[in-house]
Amino acid sequence: MESTVELLPNGGIMGARVRDHNWASTSLGPIATWPQSLKSLVNLVLAAPLPMNLLWGPELIQIYNDAYAPLMGLKHPAGLGQPAAECWQEVWEIAGPLYERVFAGETVVLENSQWILNRHGVLEAAWFDNYLIPVLDENGAVGGAH
C-alpha cells in the first residue's frame, strides 16, 4: 500500500475510501506522486462539511467528500476516481463546456440550476447551486475544478 501520511488522517468514510483507492489505476497515479497542491485540495475537500467534488487533471478525475456522496445516488462509490465525463454522461453535453470555461480560468456560477440526472436508475430533475471554480497546480496553471 502506498504512503498516505500527507492526507487527512480521518476525513470520514470518504477519507478512508480516498486513502484505500487504487489511484495507480487512474491518470492521477499513486498518492505518493501527487503534487502538494492536489494533496492540500483533497484535505480541504475531505474536511469540508458541505458537499464538495474536486475534479483534477485533464480527465477531471473525481474526489469527493462524505457530504457529496448522497448527491451521487447509485453512482457512489464507483464515482470516486472516475472521470467526470464518464460518471455524468447524461449531462456532459452541458457540463463539459462549462468545465472548459473553468479550465480557461473562469469561475462559473449557476444558481438554482436544473440538471436532469440519472442518480437512481431513472432520469430525474434536480436543482443545485453550482460554483465551478478553477484551482491551481504548483505551476500556477489550472489543475482542476471545484
In one-letter notation, the amino acid at residue 2 is: E
pTM, two decimals, is: 0.92
User: Can you give the pLDDT at residue 11?
Assistant: 84
- HSE at residue 102, side-chain half, CA atoms within 13 A, is 25
Per-residue pLDDT 10s for the chain (146 aa) are 444 445 666 789 999 999 999 999 999 999 999 999 999 999 999 999 999 999 999 999 999 999 999 999 999 999 999 999 999 999 999 999 999 999 999 999 999 999 999 999 999 999 999 999 999 999 999 999 99
User: Can you give the pLDDT at residue 132?
Assistant: 97
Helix, coil or strand: residue 142: strand
User: Can you give the pLDDT at residue 49?
Assistant: 95
CA–CA gap between residue 109 and residue 107 (Å, rounded)? 7
From the list 49, 39, 33, the residue with the least C-alpha distance to 18 is: 39
Task: List, in order, residues 6 or more apart from 144 with CB less than 8 Å away.
Answer: 38, 41, 54, 55, 56, 57, 60, 134, 135, 137
